[in-house]
Each structure stands twice: as structure tokens, then as C-alpha cells.
């Protein structure tokens, strides 16, 4: 499935899980592995990001059975945008971006609270951070336009 990661198949850069070296980039197996990674690559920003942010910030409070899934999806989006901000050095050029990068890292490193209302507050903070970071990355031309 797109965007999912299976650690069993990731033995590090260019290595296959068996450790035989047959997954090195210049080998046929390595090229197949690289192709599979490219085909499964998810873009930094897509319509799903905005949909996920809207779902969490909507007036409707997510149910207890929805919070963990929202947290996982938002964490994935947040990780991608933070990585984009750092890779583009936008965090070094703009204090607002740097603050949001720090806030994003802080949020994704925290465990989801067990109490429902606190968990909803946590995912809403993630969504607000995502939205603000997206706007600044567009403003600073790290992303050409919002989807």
C-alpha cells in the first residue's frame, strides 16, 4: 500500500534483508528495490494532507476509535513536511519555519495521550502545526502551491 513502510524489507541503504549484498544499487536486485521504493514514494503534499487536517480541525470531535488513525496519518504528513523544511534549509532561513519544525518534532515524539479529550487536543495541535508549516513552505517556495 502507498506510503506504508515494512521494516522487514529495509536493511539499510542499498542492502537486502539477507545481508548478501545482492540488493546493492548497481545489481539487478538493487535496481528492482530502488524501482519499488520510487513507485511507493508518496509526495510531500497531496490532497490527503489537507483532507486529514480538515477532518481533525472540523467541528466534529473524532471518536475514540478514530484518534489513533488520525494521529498516525498526521504524524506521517508532519514528518514529510519537517523533512522538506530541513532539506530545503527553510528552517535555517526563517525563524517561523524553524519554530514549526521544532514543534512538529516535539509533537510526533510524544505518545498519544490515553484520555480521549487530551488525545483529540494532541492531534488538533498536530493538524494546526501541519497547516501552518504548509503555508510557510508555500510562502517560501519550498512547495510551489497548495494542492
Per-residue pLDDT at 25 exceeds 70: no
Indicate the pLDDT class of residue 144, thresholds 50, 70 and 90: low
The residue with greater pLDDT, 135 or 141, is 135
Indicate the pLDDT class of residue 40, thresholds 50, 70 and 90: low
Per-residue pLDDT at 137 exceeds 70: yes
In this prediction, residue 113 carries a pLDDT of 95
Per-residue pLDDT at 18 exceeds 90: no
Whether the CB-CB separation of 95 and 136 falls below 8 Å is answered with no
Rounded Cα distance, 22 and 133, in Å: 40
Query: Cα torsion at 147, 90, 43, 122 (round to 10°)?
Result: -80
Q: How many angstroms from the chain centroid is the CA of residue 40?
A: 14
Rounded Cα distance, 120 and 102, in Å: 21
pTM, two decimals, is 0.67
Per-residue pLDDT at 21 exceeds 70: no
DSSP annotation string for 21-81? STTSTTSHHHHHHHHHHHHHPPPSS-HHHHHHHHHHHSSSPPPHHHHHHHHHHHHHHHHHH
Indicate the pLDDT class of residue 30, thresholds 50, 70 and 90: confident
- Closest Cα to residue 55, out of 42, 71, 43? 71
Those residues whose C-beta lies under 8 Å from the C-beta of residue 100, and which sit 6 or more positions away, are 85, 129, 132, 133, 136
Mean per-residue pLDDT, 40-51: 66
Indicate the pLDDT class of residue 132, thresholds 50, 70 and 90: very high
- Cell readout for 132 is 501552518
Q: Per residue in 66-118, pLDDT tens?
A: 999 999 999 999 998 998 888 888 899 999 999 999 999 999 899 999 999 99
Amino acid at each position: 500500500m502507498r506510503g506504508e513502510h515494512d521494516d522487514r524489507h529495509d536493511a539499510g541503504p542499498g542492502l537486502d534483508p539477507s545481508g548478501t549484498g545482492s540488493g546493492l544499487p548497481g545489481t539487478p536486485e538493487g535496481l528492482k528495490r530502488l524501482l519499488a521504493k520510487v513507485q511507493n514514494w508518496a509526495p510531500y503534499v497531496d490532497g490527503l494532507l489537507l483532507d486529514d487536517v480538515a477532518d481533525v480541525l472540523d467541528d466534529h470531535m473524532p471518536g475514540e476509535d478514530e484518534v489513533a488513525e488520525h494521529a498516525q496519518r498526521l504524524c506521517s504528513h508532519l514528518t514529510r513536511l519537517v523533512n522538506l523544511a530541513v532539506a530545503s534549509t527553510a528552517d535555517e532561513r526563517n525563524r517561523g519555519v524553524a519554530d514549526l519544525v521544532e514543534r512538529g518534532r516535539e509533537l510526533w515524539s510524544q505518545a498519544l495521550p490515553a484520555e480521549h479529550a487530551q488525545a483529540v487536543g494532541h492531534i488538533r495541535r498536530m493538524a494546526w502545526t501541519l497547516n501552518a508549516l504548509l503555508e510557510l513552505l508555500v510562502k517560501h517556495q519550498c512547495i510551489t502551491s497548495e494542492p
